[in-house]
Each structure stands twice: as structure tokens, then as C-alpha cells.
Amino acid sequence: MAATTAVRSFLNSTARSVKQHNLSHLGTRPFPRLVFKSPLTSSGMCHVAQATRGNTDVLVRVVGEKGAVDEVKHVVEMAKRASLRREVLHTDFLTPPVLKESMQVLEKLADVKAVAQGGYPQAERCRLSVGHPEALTSDPDIVEALSISGNFGFEPCSHGDFLGSILGTGISRDKLGDILLQGEKGAQILLVPDLVDFLTSALNKVGNVTVTCKRIPLLALEYEPPRTKSFKTIEGSLRLDAIASAGYKISRSKLVDLISNGDVRVNWASVSKNNTTIKTGDMISVSGKGRLKIGEINSTKKGKFAVELIRYL
């Protein structure tokens, strides 16, 4: 009994000493609340300490898209920094996988609020605003819209044509959001506000069509759900080259060449291996040929795979 009393006395005096020492360095900031787990095993203390601090490396272990880990880690570090400083910080445009994984991780952090904005409700590429809930009280104005108009009646341009011309001005891809095609009229694009004036003056051609750019309000965006066509294929494996060649109806050798040239992406990340395994929910894109989403996958009685393919038209 005496030993137990002595241990408790020691722990109490140590806690007071630690608190006084830390408060002298924190100024007027509140002392962080520590949570202890009983019994105080070494594994228990490690787990609690990591959870209290929101250890980034521990948090990002749940990220399913391995290619997104570094980007998600960057977002989480930004959010923790913004919360600590009681300020609001903004990411560039994030791809859907990175956005989804980031939001799932940020939900685990106390005192962090995140708001995603892409310019319109169905936006795929979005920017995240992160900060302490007391600082992030409204949606910041971090997305602008531009209309790119020209005479596209005789020379239609694809999503890739617009994207290539915009990137050709020197703008990096992460500064640009969605591109909404408007047929003969041109396109509407979303981008970071700082580059609106630059792109308005720098972009004068898309393909061989002379264009003009004009800032427009977000409410003026004209968006229609993309047209799609669904069909099924039976394949012996879930390799990328097999599934994509069936989805785009091109030969497997041609698809392999496209992969080698860096023209094929899975979930917005470039791939270099033909045998990359595809799963339900993956988005495949091939330069100049549009996008292909992987739907339900079922095994057949003969050991093959029945794969639902959703082609964006």
C-alpha cells in the first residue's frame, strides 16, 4: 500500500513539473490535453501518444491508393499546421483519389476542418481548404472560372486539346480544375484565381482555332452529366493491357505501345507496367481516347472474369 502511494505521489509531482515546464514555453496557448490508457503498458502509451499527436505516418497507413500516399501526407501536414496556427491554408487541385483519401484521414484529426471546392457540385478535381474550425467559418473563394470561346464548328477540339494548349502556356496541371467541353462554343475551365489574368492573355489558340478567354461567374458554368455507355467483357485476367484493350476496342499490342509511351493512366496516375492489376472503381484514361471506368467484376464458372466497363463518350 505504501509503495502504491509513493508511486502515485511521484507521478503527480512529475505531471505538475511537466505541465509547468511546457506552459512556460507555450505562453497563453492552452496546454494540450493528454489521454492516458490503463494499464500503462509500453504499447498502450505508444498508441495513445500517436493518436493524441495525430502522427502523420500512422494516419496515412490507411490510404488505399499507394500512389497517393505522399500527396495525402502533404495535405495532412498542411492541415495540422493550419490548425495549430489558427489559420486557413489551401491545396492546389487534387485528383479524386487523393481528395477522397485526404478527407478520410482528416476526419480522424481533432480541431481540423476541411472544405472541398471544385467550382460546381459534380466537380472531379477539387481544392481543399483546411484549418481550425474557429478560423474556417465560411467557404473561401479559391476557384475561378474562364470561358474559352472560338469557332470550333469546323474543327472540334477534345478535352486533351484544351488541356494541352493550357499546359503549353506554362501552367502546371495542379493549378487547373475540370474542363467542361461545350462543343462548337469551346469550353469552360476551373482554375486558381491567381492565374486568371495570365491565362486570359497567354492562351490565344487551341489546336488551330483562335480563341479568346473571359472570366465568368461560377453560376454561369454549364454542366451536363457525362454520357456513358456500359458493356461487359470476359477476360482471362485483370491485367491493365487486357481490360483496356477490350474497353477501347484496340489491339493489345497497340495498348502496350500506348503504355510504353506514357499515354495511359490509372486513377490519374501514369502507369508503365502492362500487368498492373485493375479493380472495381478504377478509372483508366488513354490520351486522345477518353476515359474508362471499371464497374462490377465477377468470376465465371470457367475461372475467368466478367468485367463491367463504363466508357465515357
pLDDT (tens place) for every residue of the chain, 313 residues total: 444 444 445 445 444 444 444 433 333 333 333 232 333 333 332 332 233 345 655 555 445 555 678 888 899 999 999 999 999 999 999 998 899 889 988 988 889 999 999 999 889 999 999 999 999 999 999 999 999 999 998 888 988 899 999 999 999 999 999 999 998 999 999 999 999 999 999 999 999 999 999 999 999 999 887 788 999 999 999 999 999 999 999 999 999 999 999 899 998 888 899 999 999 999 999 987 889 999 999 999 999 999 999 998 7
What is the pLDDT at residue 57? 54
What is the pLDDT at residue 59? 53
Q: Which of the four CATH numbers 3.40.50.1100, 3.10.290.10, 3.40.50.880, 3.10.20.600 does domain 228-312 have?
A: 3.10.290.10
Spans of all domains in the chain: 66-131, 144-220, 228-312
Phi-psi domain of 88 (left: phi exceeds 0; alpha: psi -120 through 50; beta: other) = beta
What is the pLDDT at residue 28? 35
Q: Which of the four CATH numbers 2.60.40.3140, 3.30.1370.160, 3.40.50.1980, 3.40.50.300 does domain 66-131 have?
A: 3.30.1370.160
Say whether 228-312 and 66-131 share the same fold.
Answer: no
What is the pLDDT at residue 280? 94
CATH architecture of 144-220: 2-Layer Sandwich (3.30)
What is the pLDDT at residue 24? 37
What is the pLDDT at residue 77? 92
